[in-house]
Structure 1
Amino acid sequence: MELNVVLLIMLVSCAATAATDYVRPPPRATLSFPWSKKRSSEPQQVHISLAGEKHMRVSWTTNSKHSPSVVEYGTSSKNYSFASKGESTSYSYFLYSSGKIHHTVIGPLEHNSLYYYRCGGEGPEFQLKTPPSWFPITFAVAGDLGQTEWTKSTLDHINQCKYDVHMIPGDLSYADYLQHRWDTFGELVQPLASARPWMVTQGNHEKEYIPMLEDSFKSYNSRWKMPYQESGSVSNLFYSFEVAGAHVIMLGSYTDYDKYSDQYSWLKADLTKVDRKRTPWLLVLFHVPWYNSNEAHQHEGDDMKAAMEPLLRAAGVDLVLAGHVHAYERTNRAYNGRSDPCGAVHITIGDGGNREGLANKYVDPQPEWSIFREASFGHGELRIVNTSHAYWSWHRNDDDEAVRSDQVWLTSLSGLECLNEKADHEPRKMLLEP
Structure 2
Amino acid sequence: MALLTELHRSRLALLLLCCISGALGRDLTIGGRAYIQSTSRWLPLYPVPRLPSVKEPSEPRNIHLSFGDTERDIVVTWSTVSKVSLPLARFRACSAPPHQPWQLATARSTKFVDGGPLKSAQWIHRAKLLNLSSGERYNYSVSSDGSVWYPAMEFRVPNVSQAQRSFAVFGDFGLANAQSLPRLLDDVTRQRMYDAIVHVGDFAYDMPDENGAVGDRFMQMLQPIASRVPYMTCVGNHEEKYNFSHYRNRFSMPGSSENFFYSVNIGPVHLVSISNEFYFFTNYGTAQLGRQYRWLDADLREANLNRTAAPWIVLIGHRPLYCSNNDSRDCDWGARTLRSGFNGHRWGLEPLIHKYGVDLAFWGHEHSYERTWPVHNGSVVGKTSDTKTYTNPRATVHVITGSAGNKEKHAYFVDKAPKFSVFRSTDYGYTRVTFFNASHALLEQVSDDKQGQVIDSFTVVQKRHGPFGWN
The answer to whether the 8 Å contact 1:78/1:125 transfers is no
Q: Quick one: which of 374, 388, 400 aligns to 1:348?
A: 400
Matching residue of 2:220: 187
Between the aligned partners of 2:326 and 2:85, the Cα distance in structure 1 is 49
Matching residue of 2:230: 197
The answer to whether the 8 Å contact 2:110/2:125 transfers is yes
CA positional deviation for 1:30: 7.5
Per-residue CA deviation, residues 337-387 of structure 1 (Å, 9 max, x unaligned), is 111241111000000111101012x22321111000010110111110111
Between the aligned partners of 1:426 and 1:35, the Cα distance in structure 2 is 52
Between the aligned partners of 1:151 and 1:379, the Cα distance in structure 2 is 7
CA positional deviation for 1:155: 3.0
SS where residue 255 of structure 1 aligns? Answer: helix
Distance verdict in 2 for CA 1:80–1:394, change over 3 Å? farther
SS where residue 217 of structure 1 aligns? Answer: helix
Name the TM-score, length of structure 2 as normaliser: 0.77
CA positional deviation for 1:79: 5.2
Between the aligned partners of 1:289 and 1:187, the Cα distance in structure 2 is 28
CA positional deviation for 1:80: 4.5
Matching residue of 2:455: 405
CA positional deviation for 1:391: 0.7
> Percent same amino acid among aligned pairs?
29
Task: Please show how residues 53-92 of structure 1 align to structure 2 within 5 Å.
Answer: 53=70, 54-76=72-94, 80-92=101-113
Letter of the 1:85 counterpart: T
The answer to whether the 8 Å contact 1:30/1:147 transfers is no
The answer to whether the 8 Å contact 1:131/1:165 transfers is no
Moved over 4 A (4+): 33-36, 77-80, 256-260
Distance verdict in 2 for CA 1:97–1:370, change over 3 Å? same
Task: Please show how residues 16-55 of structure 1 align to structure 2 within 5 Å.
Answer: 27-29=25-27, 32=34, 37=53, 39-53=56-70, 54-55=72-73
CA positional deviation for 1:303: 1.1
The answer to whether the 8 Å contact 2:403/2:429 transfers is yes
CA positional deviation for 1:27: 4.5
Q: Quick one: which of 354, 363, 384 aligns to 1:322?
A: 363
Matching residue of 1:431: none
Q: Is the aligned partner of 1:339 residue 2:380?
A: yes
Between the aligned partners of 2:355 and 2:51, the Cα distance in structure 1 is 52
Distance verdict in 2 for CA 1:282–1:258, change over 3 Å? farther
CA positional deviation for 1:426: 3.1
The answer to whether the 8 Å contact 1:154/1:353 transfers is no
Letter of the 1:51 counterpart: G
The answer to whether the 8 Å contact 1:72/1:80 transfers is no
**Structure 2: gaps (5+ residues):** 1-22, 35-47, 280-285, 341-347, 382-392
Matching residue of 2:296: 267
CA positional deviation for 1:241: 0.7
Bigger shift: residues 338-347 or 327-336: 338-347
Letter of the 1:410 counterpart: V
SS where residue 410 of structure 2 aligns? Answer: coil
Per-residue CA deviation, residues 280-324 of structure 1 (Å, 9 max, x unaligned), is 111000000111011133222321211011111111111000000
Distance verdict in 2 for CA 1:245–1:266, change over 3 Å? same
Distance verdict in 2 for CA 1:390–1:79, change over 3 Å? same
Matching residue of 1:367: 418
Task: Please show how residues 415-426 of structure 1 align to structure 2 within 5 Å.
Answer: 415-416=463-464, 419=467, 426=470
Between the aligned partners of 1:260 and 1:40, the Cα distance in structure 2 is 38
Distance verdict in 2 for CA 1:333–1:157, change over 3 Å? farther
Between the aligned partners of 2:376 and 2:192, the Cα distance in structure 1 is 32
Matching residue of 2:248: 221
Bigger shift: residues 154-163 or 329-338: 154-163
The answer to whether the 8 Å contact 2:367/2:410 transfers is yes
Name the TM-score, length of structure 1 as normaliser: 0.83
Distance verdict in 2 for CA 1:388–1:168, change over 3 Å? same
SS where residue 191 of structure 1 aligns? Answer: helix
Bigger shift: residues 153-162 or 296-305: 153-162
Matching residue of 2:343: none
Letter of the 1:71 counterpart: A
Distance verdict in 2 for CA 1:41–1:259, change over 3 Å? closer
Between the aligned partners of 2:137 and 2:26, the Cα distance in structure 1 is 36
Matching residue of 2:41: none
Per-residue CA deviation, residues 132-166 of structure 1 (Å, 9 max, x unaligned), is 21411101111111023414345335434611111
Letter of the 1:366 counterpart: A
CA positional deviation for 1:398: 2.5
Distance verdict in 2 for CA 1:417–1:50, change over 3 Å? closer
CA positional deviation for 1:404: 0.5
Distance verdict in 2 for CA 1:223–1:260, change over 3 Å? closer
Per-residue CA deviation, residues 1-23 of structure 1 (Å, 9 max, x unaligned), is xxxxxxxxxxxxxxxxxxxxxxx
Bigger shift: residues 91-100 or 56-65: 91-100
CA positional deviation for 1:35: 6.4
Per-residue CA deviation, residues 150-191 of structure 1 (Å, 9 max, x unaligned), is 143453354346111110110122125311011001110101
Between the aligned partners of 1:262 and 1:338, the Cα distance in structure 2 is 29
Q: Quick one: which of 174, 185, 190 aligns to 1:156?
A: 185
SS where residue 197 of structure 2 aligns? Answer: strand
Number of residue-to-residue matches in the alignment? 385
Bigger shift: residues 25-34 or 324-333: 25-34
Distance verdict in 2 for CA 1:123–1:206, change over 3 Å? same
